[in-house]
């Protein structure tokens, strides 16, 4: 808006000056003519009046041309410097503070244009100094804010870790107080549970021996199943090979049938040719024609038989292929079953080993239960002391957690203010970078 106003003002002044000069020249010419006309009418003879009138007209034209030329000269002397000055002001409005040679020449003039140019130079220098100071302060603020923000973040993180640790300590202390109280109650019940555990251990020992016997029987059964499964697998392999052989034989029968059909077709053609030749021979070829007809009849029968055999072999091949696929699937199932039987046997072996270990563990457990009852009495005394200590720790940790929470809130507020200050300094630097020096 300021750029447009200054530019319009300068051009308005220049235009008014040019128009004023041109108007003044025309007025001077018109006044001169007005003053000369009465004198010409009075003293010039009528026969020379036309000549004088032409001269006056010429003077008027020369005056107008002279006014125009004078206006152009004034434009060059006034408007041109103003345009240069306006360009410099436009550069300032575009944040370009670099001085040009034309502006320096204008500043050396002693007229109003030079005074305006010097004022523009002074304004540029003042703005440059101001912008430089602002840039230095912005850099300082940015560095300070960055360091402050970094320290605040580190402090916030450290306090957060402390708060988390204190919170965990507080939770642990409260939990410890609750658990120690529960432990006191539970330890009292241990005595009753120990007596009950003795009876359960005896039952467990009895069950473990029964499981051991059942495991041995299961392993023996699995071994028999493994042998039976092996025999079944061998029989399946034989059936699979026989089915595969049957399929191959059916394919060979089909090939032979196709060959018979081809031979019958050729025989039929030969008998037809023989019949034609016999017909040509007349009475002498009649007997040969009968033979040829019989051969053709046999060829047709062979062709029909070959077609029937081909249908049967196609059905046989289809069924055989299905049988091969079925046996392949059965073989895969048997293989999978064998693997599962082996895994089951291995699993039962592991179970038996586990049962044996359990029996040993049950015996050790019985001895440990006796020792546990002796330790129960001592544990009750220790747990009661721990309960009192845990209650004191819980109260202290709650007070510490409250203090740390207040410090955390304060540091977070400081960190947010530091981030805001850094953002402001960043925006200020970006705006300063728009200036060209």
Identify whether residues 194 and 323 lie together within a single domain.
Answer: yes
CA distance 30 to 36: 10
The answer to whether position 415 is within a domain reads: no
* Residues 268/356, Cβ–Cβ less than 8 Å: no
Identify whether residues 88 and 176 lie together within a single domain.
Answer: no
The answer to whether position 129 is within a domain reads: no
Of 347, 367, 386, which residue is a domain's last?
386
Identify whether residues 76 and 183 lie together within a single domain.
Answer: no
C-alpha distances in Å from residue 405, one per residue of 249, 396, 398, 419, 432: 91, 15, 11, 21, 41
Closest CA to 205 of 403, 369, 391: 369
Of 94, 127, 145, which residue is a domain's last?
94
Residues 6+ apart with CB under 8 A from 83: 10
> What confidence score (pLDDT) does residue 237 get?
72
Of 76, 94, 112, which residue is a domain's last?
94
- Over residues 332-379, the pLDDT tens digits come to 776 776 676 667 666 666 666 666 776 676 677 667 767 766 766 676
> What confidence score (pLDDT) does residue 263 get?
72
CATH code, 366: 1.10.287.950
Taking only the tens of pLDDT, the chain with its 437 residues reads 444 444 454 555 555 555 565 566 566 656 666 665 665 566 656 666 566 666 666 766 666 666 666 556 655 555 566 666 666 666 666 655 565 655 666 666 676 666 766 776 677 677 667 777 776 776 776 677 666 667 666 666 766 676 666 666 666 666 666 766 676 677 677 666 766 766 776 776 677 677 667 666 766 776 776 677 677 767 667 776 777 777 677 677 767 767 776 776 776 676 667 667 666 666 665 665 666 666 667 666 766 766 777 677 677 667 667 766 776 776 677 677 667 666 766 666 666 666 677 667 667 766 776 776 676 667 667 666 766 766 676 666 666 666 667 766 666 666 676 676 667 666 666 666 655 55
> What confidence score (pLDDT) does residue 203 get?
74
Identify whether residues 90 and 178 lie together within a single domain.
Answer: no
The answer to whether position 225 is within a domain reads: yes
User: What does R_g of the chain's alpha carbons equal in angstroms?
Assistant: 62
The answer to whether position 327 is within a domain reads: yes
Contacts 24+ apart (CB under 8 A), 117-121: 117/85, 117/88, 120/85, 120/88, 120/89, 120/92
Identify whether residues 300 and 191 lie together within a single domain.
Answer: yes
> What confidence score (pLDDT) does residue 42 get?
62
DSSP category for residue 76: I
> What confidence score (pLDDT) does residue 101 get?
56
Q: Is 366 exposed, middle or buried (0-12, 13-18, 19+ CB in 10 A)?
A: middle
The residue count of the chain comes to 437
- Over residues 298-333, the pLDDT tens digits come to 666 766 766 777 677 677 667 667 766 776 776 677
The answer to whether position 430 is within a domain reads: no
The answer to whether position 147 is within a domain reads: no
The answer to whether position 376 is within a domain reads: yes
CA distance 199 to 205: 10
The answer to whether position 150 is within a domain reads: no
Phi-psi region of 100 (alpha: psi -120 to 50; beta: other; left: phi over 0): beta
Domain region containing 289: 172-386
Closest CA to 422 of 152, 128, 159: 152
Note the pTM of the prediction, 2 decimals. 0.31
3-state secondary structure of 347: helix
Identify whether residues 80 and 207 lie together within a single domain.
Answer: no
Total domains, the chain: 2
Identify whether residues 76 and 178 lie together within a single domain.
Answer: no
3-state secondary structure of 436: strand
CA distance 435 to 131: 9
């Amino acid at each position: 808006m300021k750029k447009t106003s200054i530019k319009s003002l300068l051009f308005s002044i220049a235009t008014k000056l040019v128009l004023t000069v041109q108007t003044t020249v025309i007025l001077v010419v018109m006044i001169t003519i007005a003053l000369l006309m009465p004198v010409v009418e009075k003293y010039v003879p009528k026969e020379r009046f036309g000549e004088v009138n032409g001269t006056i007209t010429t003077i008027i034209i020369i005056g107008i041309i002279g006014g125009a030329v004078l206006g152009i000269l004034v434009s060059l002397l006034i408007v041109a410097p103003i345009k240069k000055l306006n360009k410099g002001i436009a550069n300032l409005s575009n944040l370009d503070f670099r001085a040009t040679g034309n502006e320096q020449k204008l500043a050396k003039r002693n007229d109003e244009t030079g005074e305006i140019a010097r004022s523009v130079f002074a304004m540029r220098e003042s703005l440059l100094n101001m912008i430089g100071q602002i840039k230095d302060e912005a850099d300082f603020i940015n560095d300070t804010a960055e360091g402050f923000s970094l320290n605040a973040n580190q402090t916030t993180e450290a306090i957060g870790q402390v708060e988390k640790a204190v919170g965990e300590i507080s939770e642990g202390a409260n939990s410890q107080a609750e658990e120690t109280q529960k432990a006191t109650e539970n330890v009292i019940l241990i005595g009753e549970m120990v007596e009950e555990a003795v009876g359960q251990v005896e039952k467990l020992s009895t069950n473990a021996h029964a499981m051991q016997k059942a495991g041995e029987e299961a392993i023996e059964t699995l071994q028999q199943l493994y042998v039976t499964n092996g025999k079944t697998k061998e029989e399946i392999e034989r059936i699979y090979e026989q089915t595969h052989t049957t399929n191959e034989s059916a394919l060979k029968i089909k090939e032979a049938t196709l060959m018979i059909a081809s031979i019958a077709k050729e025989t039929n053609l030969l008998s037809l040719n023989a019949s034609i030749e016999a017909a040509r021979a007349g009475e002498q070829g009649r007997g040969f024609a009968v033979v040829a007809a019989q051969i053709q009849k046999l060829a047709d029968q062979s062709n029909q038989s070959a077609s029937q055999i081909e249908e049967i072999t196609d059905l046989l091949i289809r069924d055989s292929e299905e049988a091969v696929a079925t046996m392949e699937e059965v073989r895969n199932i048997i293989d999978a079953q064998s693997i599962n039987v082996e895994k089951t046997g291995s699993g039962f072996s592991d179970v038996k080993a586990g049962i044996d270990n359990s029996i040993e563990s049950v015996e050790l457990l019985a001895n440990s239960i006796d020792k546990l009852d002796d330790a129960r009495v001592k544990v009750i005394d220790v747990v009661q002391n721990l309960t009192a200590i845990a209650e004191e720790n819980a109260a202290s940790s709650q007070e510490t957690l409250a203090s740390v929470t207040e410090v955390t809130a304060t540091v977070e507020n400081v960190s947010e203010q530091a981030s805001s200050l850094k953002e402001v300094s960043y925006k200020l630097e970006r705006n300063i970078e728009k200036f060209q020096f």
